[in-house]
Amino acid sequence: MTKLFKPLKLRDLEVRNRIFIAPMCQYSCENQDGVVNSWHEVHYGSRSVGGAGMIIVEATGVSPEGRITPWCAGIWNEEQVAAWKRVNDIVKKHGARTAIQLAHAGRKASTQRGWDGKSGTISVADRGWSTVSATSEPFEGYEPPRELQTAEVFEIIEEFKSSAERSVRAGFEAIEIHAAHGYLIHQFLSPLTNSRTDEFGGSLENRARLLLEITKAIRSVIPEGMPLMIRFSATDYRDGGWDLEQTQQVAQWCAEAGVDLFDISSGGLITGVKIPSGPGYQVPLAIGVGEVIVQPVAAVGQITTSAQAEKILQGGGVEVIAIARASLRDPYWPLRAAAELNVEVDYWPTQYLRGKWPKD
Ligand SMILES: Cc1cc2nc3c(=O)[nH]c(=O)nc-3n(C[C@H](O)[C@H](O)[C@H](O)COP(=O)(O)O)c2cc1C
């Protein structure tokens, strides 16, 4: 048996293999209301048919202002719950587990979607909104945010909490907190974007307070058997910024607060840094986080082949492989991987048996 196809148990949730589809924004709520639609049903449904163990759906706003773009998904109202329920029913019917990535974009909110050929902030006049952050310093090329008042930070914790409660009702089986890629929680974590003087700024403990409070609030409203995960950027690639050592410490605190898996990415907070990208370039960061906790870690980033994924797991220190862009090219990536690694899986769709790898 390969490691890639060994089932995984997270609390009460059985996952059929170690292949997770990484969260990927679809920017496809065409009415700009955060309500997912047939695109999302087909997109996530195909990846479930394709054999994924878990699908972590796109960054989903806990409030309208928390969305990255006006076309991003949301979970702040009941219409959104009903729409996500339809997606989740399809995903679960075809065997994958379904997780939501709860997110607030902070100073990186209200932006254009890349494929429209524009970049930067969408103005309020153009159906955008004013942004908020731990700081009043802008992300380069974007409009400056307003620094959140302390009372408003507590409101955001409540928004994550109520969104988690709605996510359970929408049929999600796990939750991932988005603390990566320079979005709001990362803006609080990093000393580069947090110069606050209240209890949410200063020491590491204070900068991590928002994430810890969100973690505890979510854990208090979701079922005991439901897994909770966090995505971190493990470094800002800048001296004096967020780094692996701080990630390790905060991951330990989060583990004590009931987090079951750490999904390790990097970067996204600031521009102008040199990222050493290449195949599997974030794997050492995942291993580094895994060294200080007992919970499993997921590696992501330029993992594209089944042999590479299996080798990473065989190397130890990483329990899950998350695939993003390779799964856009090939929704059946997990089924292909099973064939390539000579694993017989019992979830090859019967409708597709005549096309089963290896071809005759
Ligand atoms: C279209 C697209 C949308 C993405 N949206 C998200 C997102 O919503 N949340 C997130 O944490 N990462 C997001 N990412 C990052 C991916 O989850 C992943 O970490 C990254 O693409 C590296 O993995 P890969 O080399 O397998 O593509 C996105 C990536 C792509 C390509």
For 186-202, what is each residue's pLDDT tens digit? 999 999 999 999 999 99
Residue 1, pLDDT score: 83
**Cβ(236)–Cβ(243) below 8 Å:** yes
Q: Which of 20, 25, 115, 321 to mutate to test the pocket of ligand 1 (most atoms within 8 A of CB)?
A: 25
Write out pLDDT tens, residues 220-262.
999 999 999 999 999 999 999 999 999 999 999 999 999 999 9
Is residue 360 over pLDDT 70? no
What CATH fold (topology level) applies to the domain 8-355?
TIM Barrel (3.20.20)
Residue 200, pLDDT score: 98
71 Cα–ligand 1 center, Å: 16
302 Cα–ligand 1 center, Å: 10
Residue with the smallest CA separation from ligand 1 atom 21 is 324
Write out pLDDT tens, residues 119-129.
999 999 999 99
Q: Which of 297, 325, 329, 330 to mutate to test the pocket of ligand 1 (most atoms within 8 A of CB)?
A: 325
Annotated catalytic, 142?
Answer: no
- The residue-averaged pLDDT of 150-158 equals 98
Q: Give the number of the atom of ligand 1 that is nearest the alpha carbon of residue 327.
A: 26
Residue 352, pLDDT score: 94
DSSP of 138-206: PPTTSPPPEEPPHHHHHHHHHHHHHHHHHHHHTT-SEEEEEE-TTSHHHHHH-TTT----STTSSSHHH
Catalytic residue among 183, 237, 332, 347: 183
Distance CA 192, CA 186 (A): 10
Q: Which of 24, 40, 69 to mutate to test the pocket of ligand 1 (most atoms within 8 A of CB)?
A: 24
Question: How do beta strands 13-15 and 8-10 pair?
Answer: antiparallel
Is residue 358 over pLDDT 90? no
Distance CA 65, CA 132 (A): 8
Write out pLDDT tens, residues 280-308.
999 999 999 999 999 999 999 999 999 99
What is the percentage of the chain residues whose pLDDT exceeds 90? 98
100 Cα–ligand 1 center, Å: 14
Residue 221, pLDDT score: 98
Non-local CB neighbours of 188 within 8 Å, separated by 6+ positions: 134, 194, 200, 201, 207, 208, 209, 210, 211
Is the CB of 266 inside a 6 Å radius of any atom of ligand 1?
A: no
- The residue-averaged pLDDT of 164-182 equals 99
Confidence band for 357, pLDDT divided at 50, 70 and 90: confident
58 Cα–ligand 1 center, Å: 9
